[in-house]
């Protein structure tokens, strides 16, 4: 079960006749020398933390340590309550939850890095929104998280999820790929369709830079988590409709890693370029000399 790439993962899914989530669950049991119940309990704890971080700021907004964000999720929820939202139920809830998680993270609250703290809102944002809209059980949502975990594992093994190495395409991009794959499985898609969606996300977010204002994981990180959710939803919709991806996930992951290594250091988490270097950002954060 210890697959090394997406090609091997798909082969296992075909051989065993099961979805990506089940292969990942079996892998965790085999490598951890433990039982499915134990692994599921650990994942259920992660889901509980995700849900709390996605919902608490809607009632009790929290200000970030750097003071750049705080209260955005509540604004989105209030906007939807007035029936003024234009994104539709799933996307509106997903971006609201995603931004809420970043509020919690930036205020030193408890979150689940999925795959990183700076991209921690994307996976719970989309999965919790789908759960509410389609009345998906928590047990099924755990399947989605195991699926997402498989995609994240492949990214960490064969590329990177670090903004300092590959830019924001490696953080929010991989998070969105994880979310898209999970969403496709939850909505009845095949393993091939899951990884097609993940590949599409990386394609659409290729080259995204990491330029945190003041060097803080606050802004534009929070907005990009919302954008990552939207990209994941688009990719999942395309895949579920039967639109195939020309470039397999393994190849797209390699491309993402290559592009990331060519992004200038000023645009890889150093806060020396991009949004972080604008006059307004420098004035607001007060960290620039």
Q: Where are the domains of the chain?
A: 6-285
Q: Which residues of 241-258 are buried (b: 16+ CB within 10 A; e: fewer)?
A: eeeebeebbbebbebbbe
- Quote the tokens at residue 196: 């097609």
CA dist list (Å): 219 to 81, 106, 119, 160, 165: 25, 10, 12, 21, 19
Q: Domain 6-285 maps to which CATH number in 1.10.4100, 1.10.10, 1.20.120, 3.30.70?
A: 1.10.4100
- 86 Cβ neighbours under 8 A, 6+ residues apart: none
* Mean pLDDT over each residue of the chain, to the nearest integer: 97
- pLDDT recorded at residue 287: 58
pLDDT > 90? residue 288? no
- Convert the pLDDT of each residue in 155-196 to its tens digit: 999 999 999 999 999 999 999 999 999 999 999 999 999 999
pLDDT > 90? residue 123? yes
Please compute the mean of the pLDDT values over residues 85-105 and round it to a whole number.
Answer: 97
pLDDT > 90? residue 64? yes
- pLDDT recorded at residue 284: 87
- Convert the pLDDT of each residue in 216-250 to its tens digit: 999 999 999 999 999 999 999 999 999 999 999 99
Contact by Cβ (8 Å): 180, 238? no
């Amino acid at each position: 079960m210890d697959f090394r790439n997406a090609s091997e993962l798909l082969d296992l899914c075909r051989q065993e006749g099961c979805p990506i989530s089940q292969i990942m669950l079996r892998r965790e049991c085999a490598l951890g020398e433990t039982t499915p119940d134990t692994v599921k309990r650990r994942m259920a704890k992660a889901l509980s933390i995700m849900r709390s971080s996605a919902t608490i700021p809607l009632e009790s907004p929290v200000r970030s340590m750097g003071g750049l964000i705080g209260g955005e999720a509540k604004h989105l929820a209030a906007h939807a309550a007035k029936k003024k939202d234009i994104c539709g139920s799933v996307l509106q809830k997903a971006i609201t939850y995603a931004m809420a998680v970043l509020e919690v993270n930036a205020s030193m609250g408890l979150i689940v890095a999925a795959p990183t703290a700076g991209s921690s809102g994307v996976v719970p944002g989309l999965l919790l929104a789908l759960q509410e809209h389609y009345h998906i059980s928590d047990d099924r949502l755990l399947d989605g998280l195991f699926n997402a975990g498989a995609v994240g594992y492949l990214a960490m093994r064969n590329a990177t999820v670090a903004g300092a190495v590959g830019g924001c395409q490696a953080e929010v991009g991989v998070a969105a790929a994880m979310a898209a794959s999970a969403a496709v499985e939850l909505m009845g898609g095949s393993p091939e369709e899951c990884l097609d969606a993940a590949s599409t996300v990386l394609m659409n977010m290729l080259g995204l830079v990491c330029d945190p204002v003041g060097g803080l994981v606050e802004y534009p990180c929070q907005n990009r988590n919302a954008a990552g959710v939207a990209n994941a939803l688009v990719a999942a919709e395309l895949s579920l409709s039967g639109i195939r991806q020309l470039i397999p996930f393994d190849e797209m992951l390699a491309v993402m890693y290559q592009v990331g290594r060519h992004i200038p250091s000023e645009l890889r988490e150093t806060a020396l370029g991009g949004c972080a270097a604008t006059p307004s950002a420098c004035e607001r954060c007060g960290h620039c000399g």
